[in-house]
Amino acid sequence: MKFKKLTPPADGEKIEVKNGRLHVPDNPIIVWIEGDGTGPDIWRAAHPVLNTAVELAYEGKRRIVWFEAYAGEKAQAVYGELLPDDTFKAIAEYIVAIKGPLTTPVGTGFRSLNVTLRQVLDLYACVRPAKWYEGVPSPMRHPEKVNMVVFREATEDLYAGIEWEKGTPEAQKVIEWLKKEFGIEVRPDSGIGIKPISEFASKRLVRKAIQYAIDNKLPSVTFMHKGNIMKYTEGAFMKWGYEVALTEFRDYVVTEQEVNEQYGGKVPEGKIVVKDRIADNMFQQIQTRPDEYHVIATMNVNGDYISDALAAMVGGLGMAPSANMGDYIALFEATHGSAPKYAGKDVVNPSSVILSGVMMLRYIGWHEAADLIEKGISETIKQKRVTYDLARHIGVQPIKCSEFGQAVCENMKALVEKVLA
Ligand code: NAD
């Protein structure tokens, strides 16, 4: 692989896909992008946590070899452009990558750097877990019951971006065409938006969501849709979802209807229940009966709303990790933006990017290191050593972003020493 300005580290090996599975060496090269605004702050805290966890969990036998690629302002400085080809190539070649937040440029050809990365690399599933850690302030009475993962389709629906402004020749043309061809009246002063939902994109998203439930031994997958109103887009998503479940995963799943009609309301041992909920009801259910939902598969806009609602229920954006996944390529990222007003102040919560690192470690199968970080974060929060976003709700003095990272490292070391003692 020829890069224009990047030099891959000599002391690591590539993660490869063989027979449909990831092959991860003990010294995998992982691409990282620092990001804009608070990106450098959160990475200064996150890198030591990820490295320490791997070192502790595998006693030095495993190690991440970090390979920096550039996007956003740093790329502008190095390449004179915001998203250089080298960055796409590096992620595609090394398969697993993790990034900090990127400021959306104003007045350039990019709608958003994040959206461009997803589209160019065909990262069609935006995966966002919502899990509560003890001690994190939450508006829920029983936040411990919240443990869901949202699979949000990331290439179509309103993300396809088919829109025309009121009064433009394009909008007028579509309005006239609708009238002439279908006798449909649309007010002439309307803006127009079109949402495509395809069988191909819906099925590959659902396939990934069900496979995730199987791999992680989770009890249910729920299709969230507004199919009662939008029958041929949202309704079709649900229909295609059931088709995938029943044709490709028949041995692993039962539908909720089958549970009720054939199994007397009791889920057969070891089976994953596949169900669907209308979007508005889903919002109620995640709050009133959170423990009945585990994986939620949905389209772009629904997924956007529900994942932020879930993030709020478990501690807000500072605690919310995510991943953008294609068939194999996975780009993990902090969910929040670059929060420019806090840039360089060493105050924001680095947990989002650290927990994205936890997702990444699980993706490469390094569960011991991932478990250790989760325990380290829990312990640190229980000790009320938290950044400003959580401190103001708990009513304690905040610690700095870097101090939080150090505290997690200390707690991980203490946990390992306790086990060894
Ligand atoms: P933001 O997420 O950057 O910040 C909004 C608020 O959330 C902040 O003012 C802060 O109060 C809080 N917050 C954010 N990160 C936090 C953290 N780690 N710890 C504690 N609190 C945190 O959203 P914004 O201000 O709307 O966007 C700023 C820029 O980031 C924009 O250019 C936007 O387009 C971009 N953005 C990027 C991504 C991404 O890279 N995935 C996501 C969202 C926004």
pLDDT at residue 79 in the model:
95
The yes-or-no verdict on residue 242 having pLDDT over 80 is yes
pLDDT at residue 211 in the model:
96
Closest residue by Cα to atom 27, ligand 1, is: 337
Q: What share of the chain has pLDDT > 90, as a percent?
A: 91
Identity of the residue numbered 242: Y
20-66 pLDDT per residue, tens: 899 999 999 999 999 999 999 999 999 999 999 999 999 999 999 99
pLDDT at residue 112 in the model:
83
pLDDT at residue 345 in the model:
97
Q: Which two tokens stand for residue 345?
A: 């102040």
Taking alpha carbons only, the member of 96, 100, 23, 87 closest to residue 65 is: 96
Tell me the best of 111, 338, 349, 355 to mutate to test the pocket of ligand 1, counting ligand atoms within 8 Å of each CB and taking the most: 338
Closest residue by Cα to atom 23, ligand 1, is: 337
105-139 pLDDT per residue, tens: 776 666 788 888 998 999 999 999 999 998 899 99
pLDDT at residue 161 in the model:
75
pLDDT at residue 326 in the model:
97
The yes-or-no verdict on residue 1 having pLDDT over 80 is no
Q: What share of the chain has pLDDT > 70, as a percent?
A: 99
Distance 397 CA to ligand 1 centre (A): 22
Identity of the residue numbered 146: V
Ligand 1 atom nearest 349 alpha carbon: 19
DSSP alpha helix (H) spans, 121-198:
169-182
Q: Which residues of 125-145 are buried (b: 16+ CB within 10 A; e: fewer)?
A: bbbbbbbbbebbbbeeeebeb
d(CA 383, CA 378): 9
Closest residue by Cα to atom 31, ligand 1, is: 103
Please work out whether the CB of residue 389 comes within 6 Å of at least one atom of ligand 1.
yes
Mean pLDDT of 232-251: 98
- Find the range with the poorest average confidence among 101-115, 134-148, 168-182, 256-270: 101-115
Please work out whether the CB of residue 324 comes within 6 Å of at least one atom of ligand 1.
no
Taking alpha carbons only, the member of 94, 41, 101, 42 closest to residue 65 is: 94
Provide the pLDDT confidence category of residue 280 given band limits of 50, 70 and 90.
very high
Provide the pLDDT confidence category of residue 315 given band limits of 50, 70 and 90.
confident
pLDDT at residue 317 in the model:
84
d(CA 14, CA 17): 10
The yes-or-no verdict on residue 9 having pLDDT over 70 is yes
- Whether pTM > 0.85 for this model: the answer is yes
Please work out whether the CB of residue 336 comes within 6 Å of at least one atom of ligand 1.
yes
pLDDT at residue 419 in the model:
84
Q: What is the mean pLDDT of the chain?
A: 95
Please work out whether the CB of residue 72 comes within 6 Å of at least one atom of ligand 1.
no
Mean pLDDT of 68-89: 96
Please work out whether the CB of residue 337 comes within 6 Å of at least one atom of ligand 1.
yes
Is residue 123 within 8 A of residue 363, CB to CB? The reply is no
d(CA 202, CA 195): 13
Sign of CA dihedral 37, 70, 48, 323: positive
pLDDT at residue 262 in the model:
96
d(CA 22, CA 365): 9
pLDDT at residue 109 in the model:
64
pLDDT at residue 222 in the model:
98
The yes-or-no verdict on residue 316 having pLDDT over 90 is no
Tell me the best of 336, 349, 389, 393 to mutate to test the pocket of ligand 1, counting ligand atoms within 8 Å of each CB and taking the most: 336
Taking alpha carbons only, the member of 131, 143, 140, 99 closest to residue 118 is: 99
Provide the pLDDT confidence category of residue 251 given band limits of 50, 70 and 90.
very high
Q: Where are the beta strands (DSSP E) in 106-243?
A: 125-131, 147-153, 162-164, 192-194, 220-225
